[in-house]
Structure 1
Amino acid sequence: MTHAASPDRGSTERPPLSRRSLLRAGGLLTAGLAVGAGAGCSVVSSGRDATAVRPNKEPAPGRKKTIEIYNIWGSTVGSGLVQCAKAFEDSQDEIAVRVTFAPTPGGGSTIQQKLFTAIAGGQAPDIGFCDAALAPSWTSLGIMKDLTPYFERDGVLLEDFFPVCAASMAYQDRVWSVQWDADANFPFFWNKGLFSECGLDPERPPTTIEEIDQMAAEINRVEGGQATQIGIMPWNQYGGGNSMLTWGYSFGGKFWNDGTNEATTDDEPNIRALEWMTKSAQSIGGAEAAAIAPPSLQLHPFSTGKLGMACLVTPNLLQIKQLHPEIEIGATLLPYAPPGASRPGEGAWLGGWSGFIPAAAKEPDAAWEFLKWFAISDEGTQTQWDNIGFPVGYAKAPVNQAIASDPDAGVYHETLSKMEHTRPLITVSEFHHQQMETQVMAAVYGQRTAQQALQRVKELSLREAERFERVG
């Protein structure tokens, strides 16, 4: 997209829904969702009071226009967003920014009832945040403004984003959001000290699933029916749904047919991946036998020093390094299972957050100027990295050089640069994820076979997609 176009021309947006229809549809989108099943994986809270770190902000006075941003985060992320808003105001003198704290369950889940209520009541903010994979459902409901004309007018190219980000931002040949937080799910980490204790080479991580099994067998310790030391818990990569995506893609699986609402959850490589996950649980006497961490533990189990290998999101990695510097941690790309997959890192998939403009926003042009600054400009992407610390989706941003060379973030950047997969881009993506959460864990705990579990996810998701189309 290189030619200029007016922001009002060529839009494919649907008319806004009525208040009753929007709230009803919102119920369909959010019913039964598990906290943490959305874009960002759930991480341990810092414990700081959200209001103390100021997730709200009043607009700067004397500006021609004021935009409102719904801030769904408390703690340091929400405070960092406020700092970015202030920096944007300092960068120009026409647009003021109001930041309104609009928390969601779990501090970042996709259940945004406050947003839906505001839109239905004619009080939509000018900018909201979501997982880009929500575009199929939210565009169908008339929630999101088509950003394609802005991209065309300002010469912003999808190909200048990391390819996996561009794939999420675009739906039906239009652009609906801007990926500013490109969360790489996941790099792979191992405990070098534990490897040495178990007779393994601490400098040689696994590259394949078969090698994971071999190394886990040397690490596992089961005493009195309890697993006191565990090689890997592949069913516990931030929930059953995230685990299924991670290992399904690592085995070469597919989760939907591109361009359709057809879930393919029971793809043969996905079944093999879930069978492997359940077998891993059985190798320690069942998932319920895991006893490496007390129930009150507020850090990731990798922090105990009794878990050999794990996927970690950035906040957990940094927490463990800060609180347990005695644990020497190695980082690499996610192992894979041939013949379905062909290289390390192939199982990684995009999480993170995108900014979007609600279709009913009162100041869409000014909102676009903020999004463009925040997610694309040299200054904005650097400011986001300095104040929030999330990898950026815009590949041409100079800050990527610093991220790539960072001792902690470097492996996330490498994973992102080679990543191909996203969450399923279907209208019922969140419902599908919640069903994976439930059915995958049922398989891990021996309540049904891997094939039965994934077939059930597919059947329920296809049924829900049909229901969504009828309501929409």
Structure 2
Amino acid sequence: MKRFKVAPLALLLSSSLLFAACSAGGQDGKPAAGGGSAAGGKQATVKFWYPSNDDQTTNAAKKVIDGFQKENPNIKIELTTIPWKDYFQKLSVAYSGGIAPDVHGLGFGQLISTVDQDKYMDLNRFIKADSWQGKDDMFPSVMKAGEWNGGQYGILMPEVRPLEWRKDFFKEAGLDPDKAPATLDEIFDYAEKLKVVKDGKTVRAGIDIQTGNGEQSYFSLLLMLGKDIYDDKGSPTFDSPESIELVEKMVKLYKSGAIIAANQQQLNGTPFQNSLAAMSFSSSPSVSILQKAVGADKVGWSLPPKGPTGKQTSLMLGTFLSMSKSSKAPDESWKFIKYWFDQKNIYDFCVETGFVPPLKSVKDKYVKAAPENAVVFKAMDDARGYGASKYWDVNIKYLRIALEEGYNGLKPVAQALKENAQKARDEIKNGK
């Protein structure tokens, strides 16, 4: 959520980058004695993969890498950036082939659904050996997000999704540009008022709700109702009465032209990011790009409306930095991760990209630089992501199908949600 400089990122992965660079050091993920593979003046290479769709994040990552290599001339960081839509598949192939990068980003759902597969290094060994003070400076929810069975398998760069809106579009529609919808029903009411239709075609949506791979915008709305996609055992709950009623309202908006069909993973950005929607629950990095394009004064930020429980829960996702358990340069990899989360480096990275600084010591500086960022930290007081579950991908797969069937009129909403939830239960039960 920032009003700072920005840029895009989408460098396709060439096949040659799938082969590991050799580096000396500890074996089987164990730190090497005497300072790792860079000891004695030898050059060590750390392969680093990072997912993103915009140059903004690529450039920010390169700046961190440049700073690290200046301070550590014996360690080379080999950066590969990959679009989100291809990222996890390529990473899975690399792990299966024994050529996983030493350090890599992981999406929120990607980590929590694969952390039990024993692929990732438990970072606690380095945190404890280093007496790393950064851990105590982190917001508790940030560290907790990367925990599993007592281990720390990732450190999160969070991005939260409160409600955003275009003040200029509100003014055009005769709405108060400084006042956000106060209830969930009012969000839907505003969406109808804010849509712009010309010659029978919607040219600007009232709200940006993705219709393809659209579970994130759906979940942002569902959280207001105090509901979840699955329970603590991973069994789907997206066919609850509350969910059915919510999706029926979403589909109604789509049919009325208040939503423009879009895919959550499209490379050119979502409708809100492209000034084709008046409201959104977009990621803070993507909105920072919009702020640079149209002016930060035209973008409003607010906590989500209060739900039935009185809470204003925002969706929190983000990107973890994790280390491969098979890394042959674990000491150097940890040194790089620690450098990434240094106060100055993480502040500069977040200013550039729109991620939320995970360090408490950086909060005041970040808010002072752009006062609207106070909403981000306030949202983090009641923000949550997906619960850790090895069945996350099963639930998301069938939820996506159900939503698309509803939007496209292939099945009534209730039928689509119930049938796909049952398919998810069957798949989980059968262990497929």
Q: Give the alignment's TM-score, normalised by structure 1.
A: 0.72
> What pairs up with 1:42-441 in 2 under 5 angstroms?
46=8, 63-64=41-42, 66-73=44-51, 75-92=55-72, 96-101=75-80, 103-104=81-82, 107-109=83-85, 111-156=87-132, 160-179=137-156, 181-184=157-160, 186-220=161-195, 222=197, 225-228=200-203, 230-235=205-210, 239-258=213-232, 260-284=233-257, 290=260, 298=268, 300-302=270-272, 307-325=277-295, 328-336=298-306, 338-339=307-308, 341-344=309-312, 346=313, 348-375=314-341, 377-385=342-350, 388=353, 390-393=355-358, 395-396=359-360, 398-407=361-370, 410=373, 413-414=376-377, 416-441=379-404
Unaligned 5+ segments in structure 1 are 1-43
Partner of 1:35: none
Cα 1:108–1:281 change in 2 (3 A) is closer
Higher mean Cα deviation, 111-120 or 242-251?
111-120
Count of matched residue positions in the alignment of Structure 1 and Structure 2 = 401
For residues 53-86 of structure 1, give each alpha carbon's deviation from its aligned partner in whole angstroms, at most 9, with x where no partner exists: xx99x99997446241322357342343232123
Q: Give the counterpart letter for 1:443 in structure 2.
A: G
Q: CA RMSD in A?
A: 3.8
Shift of 1:200: 2.0
Q: Secondary structure at the match of 2:216?
A: helix
Assess if the C-alpha contact under 8 Å between 1:67 and 1:367 holds in 2.
no
Shift of 1:128: 1.7
Cα 1:372–1:297 change in 2 (3 A) is closer
Q: Secondary structure at the match of 2:384?
A: coil
Partners of 1:211 and 1:232 in 2: how far apart? 12
Shift of 1:412: 6.1
Partners of 1:208 and 1:413 in 2: how far apart? 19
Does residue 446 of the first structure (1) align with residue 403 of the second (2)? no
Assess if the C-alpha contact under 8 Å between 1:261 and 1:462 holds in 2.
no
Q: Secondary structure at the match of 1:152?
A: helix
Unaligned 5+ segments in structure 2 are 1-5, 24-37
Assess if the C-alpha contact under 8 Å between 1:189 and 1:331 holds in 2.
yes
Shift of 1:176: 1.0
User: Alignment identity in percent?
Assistant: 19
Cα 1:354–1:262 change in 2 (3 A) is same
Q: Secondary structure at the match of 1:405?
A: helix
Q: Give the counterpart letter for 1:257 in structure 2.
A: D
Shift of 1:439: 1.5
Partners of 2:195 and 2:348 in 1: how far apart? 44
Assess if the C-alpha contact under 8 Å between 1:182 and 1:416 holds in 2.
no
For residues 316-364 of structure 1, give each alpha carbon's deviation from its aligned partner in whole angstroms, at most 9, with x where no partner exists: 434433433498322212234x31x4233x1x22222111111111122
Partners of 2:213 and 2:231 in 1: how far apart? 24
Cα 1:335–1:65 change in 2 (3 A) is farther
